[in-house]
Structures are given as C-alpha cells and as structure tokens.
Amino acid sequence: MPNMNMIQALNSALDIMLDRDRDVIIFGEDVGYFGGVFRTTDGLQERHGDHRVFDTPLSEGGIAATAFGMGLNGLRPVVEIQFADYIFPAYDQIVNEMAKIRHRSGGEFWSPVTLRTPAGGGIRGGHHHSQSPESQFTHTPGLKVVYCSTPYNAKGLLISSIECNDPVIFFEPKRCYRGPFYGDPHKVPTWADHPEAEVPEEHYSIQLGKARLATEGDSCTVIAWGAMVHVCEKAIEESGVSCDLIDLQSLVPWDKDAITKSVEKTGRCVIVHEAPKTSGFGAEMAASVQERCFYMLESPIERVTGWDTPFPHTTEWDYMPGPTRIAAAIHRTQED
C-alpha cells in the first residue's frame, strides 16, 4: 500500500470522484491551473479538463452561491475556500441557503455541496490563516461538519462527504498536510512510515458520524479532532496515563456511542481543541458527556483549548494547546 501525505490522499480522493461521477466539479481560488496554494488539486485540471476543475474569482460568497446553484440543478460541486478564515463572506450562503434548502422546500430541492477548507494554526499564519471555526458551523442544523486528521481518514472522509447528499463542511488541518504534528514546532516529522499514511490507491469511504479510536487505554478519555489528535497522542505518552484517544472525525453528527462507551470505561474525560474555549465545540462535548455519563464520572471534565483571543503570530505556541498543558489536564482528572 502506498504511503501518502494528507495532500496526496485528498488529491487521490478528488481524482477518484472526478473519474467516477461526471457531476463532480471542482472549483475555487487558485485550484485550477496552479493546483491550489497547498497543491491539493495539483494535476487535476490537466487530467480532467478545465470544465471540471477550474479557477474562480476571489469571491467566497460567489463560490458558495455558484456551488449551491449547481447542486440544486443536479451537480455535485466540491469547492475550496482557500483558508477557513476566509469563509465568512460565504457564511450567509452556507448557513441560510445550503443548510436550509432541503427543509425549507419540503424536500423538493437539495444541494450536495462539499466545501473543503484548510483550518487551524501552527504555520505562523497569524490572525487570518490559523483559525478553526468549526463551532460556527456545528451550530447550524442542516450541515454536516467533518474534520480529518490523517492521510487515511482524509481520503475516506472526503469521499464520503462528496457522496453525501447533504452539504458538508470539510476541515483539513493544514499543519498536518505534510506530516503529523506532535506539538513541537522544532521537530516536525513527515508522514513517511506513519501507519495512518498507508493509503489505498482505490476508492474507499469512512462513514460520516463515526469516530476513530486512535489509542486505547483505561484511565481517561481524551477527545480531539484535527491536528490536536497528534498533539494529544504525544501528551498521553508524556503523561504516562493510559488513555482512550478518540479522534472525533465527524463533529455533526458526532459518534455518541464511541464516546459514551469510552467514558463509561474510564470515568474521566479531557476535551481538546485549537479553537477558542467559549462556545467552542468542546462545550457541546462536555455538556453531552455530563448528560450521558454523569454517574460514571470520577472527576470534572477538563477542556484544553485555544484562548479566547485572536490567534497570534509569533506567540502561536503559547496559544495552541501543547502536550504539557494537555498532560497536566489528564493528570488533574486522575486526582481523587
């Protein structure tokens, strides 16, 4: 099985879907001739033609609206918003239009758009190339929200998202495009030799709504998504505590069975995300775990998140949750 980095895995998913379904059409800023600023659509225009893979004006609102209209008329558009930070001009189209069309029309119309967007920090991107705005979409009924973390799940989840008849917001942790990230900016490995970088060449899918158990343990449940999955792996190792690490993968709908099963076993829970704490998706996780597992909990649920501030540039490592902060939270859950 070939080793792929996340970019190659995403590219493979897009390539396969372009081959399988003539109604799949890909567009966005710089995605056509150039192949995307992160190279995710590299070679696709050459292989599938510029009527299937093309560049757009710099207009996120226009991209979302055009994709929505194409979806209404039978196509399956897969569009790229170059950075999640730039999704907001498209917010009305996503929240009021894509998310509501099936319901508002009594099921007469729907639009199966997949909206891919690189998210999260760790690339010295400052305020506007680092944010992780998943909770601004998980709060909107009608959308599915996916956050990949490895080459293997990136490909399988993207294929499922494209095949899904509901609109999907697909977040890609840009810090992990070329390697897993363990929280040390001075030591950034590639995906070479990583087991989750063994990616089949052919079509496969990962069911939306299912989490992945990244590591298995007995004493604490750590819930994360995106780049934080790898940081948590390192934190668990440093803590010396035996933990279940749940890579959520889908935020809406999320995998309640995987989480309740794990917390019922461990009685302890730490939730980790890069986005700010207040109203972050961690709040939803914490509330849900407490609703479902209250009598099994042995200690308060911990949240380790980005701060409630704009995302910084040079001090980003003080902002993003790192192994030390996460390990400390894991240890706090172990106190009597």
Choice from 39, 42, 61, 264 touching other proteins (CB under 8 A): 61
Verify binding: residue 30, other proteins, rule CB under 8 A: no
Q: Which helix (H) or strand (E) holds 55?
A: strand 53-55
Under rule CB under 8 A, residue 89 binds other proteins: yes
Question: Other C-beta atoms within 10 Å of 297: how many?
Answer: 17
Question: What is the Cα–Cα distance from 142 to 100, expressed in whole angstroms?
Answer: 6
Nearer to other proteins, 73 or 309 (CB): 73
The DSSP string of 195-241 is: GGGB--SS-----TT--EEEE--SSEEEEE-TTHHHHHHHHHHHHT-
What is the rounded CA–CA span in Å between residue 144 and residue 256?
15
Question: Among candidates 107, 106, 127, 130, which has minimal Cα distance to 119?
Answer: 130
For the annotated catalytic residues, the residue numbers are 129
Closer residue to other proteins, CB minimum distance, 156 or 209: 209
Q: Which of 65, 123, 283, 297 binds other proteins (CB under 8 A)?
A: 65
Figure out which of the listed residues 144, 234, 268, 273 binds other proteins, where binding follows CB under 8 A.
144
C-beta closer to other proteins: residue 168 or 241: 168
Comparing C-alpha atoms, which of 208, 231, 259, 248 is closest to residue 327? 231
Q: Using CB under 8 A, pick the residue from 8, 12, 93, 239 that binds other proteins.
A: 93
Backbone angles phi, psi at 91, to 5 degrees: -60, -45
- Contacting other proteins (CB under 8 A), which of 41, 66, 249, 333? 66
- Taking CB under 8 A as the criterion, the residue among 29, 80, 134, 166 binding other proteins is 166
**Residue 273 CB neighbour total at 10 angstroms:** 29
Q: How far is the CB of 139 from other proteins (least distance, A)?
A: 13
Q: State which residue, 122 or 167, has the beta carbon closest to other proteins.
A: 167
The nearest distance, CB 110 to other proteins, in angstroms, is: 7
Candidates 31-39, 123-131, 149-157, 163-171: pick the segment binding other proteins (CB under 8 A).
Answer: 163-171
Query: If 0-12 CB within 10 Å is exposed, 13-18 middle and 19+ buried, where does residue 3 land?
Result: middle
- Kindly write out the interface string for residues 95-134 of this chain, putting x where it contacts other proteins by CB under 8 A and - elsewhere: -xx--xxxxxxxxxxx------------------------
Region for residue 113 given its phi and psi (left: phi exceeds 0; alpha: psi -120 to 50; beta: otherwise): beta
Complex with other proteins: residue 62 or 126, whichever CB lies closer: 62
- Residue 294 as a binder of other proteins (CB under 8 A): the answer is no
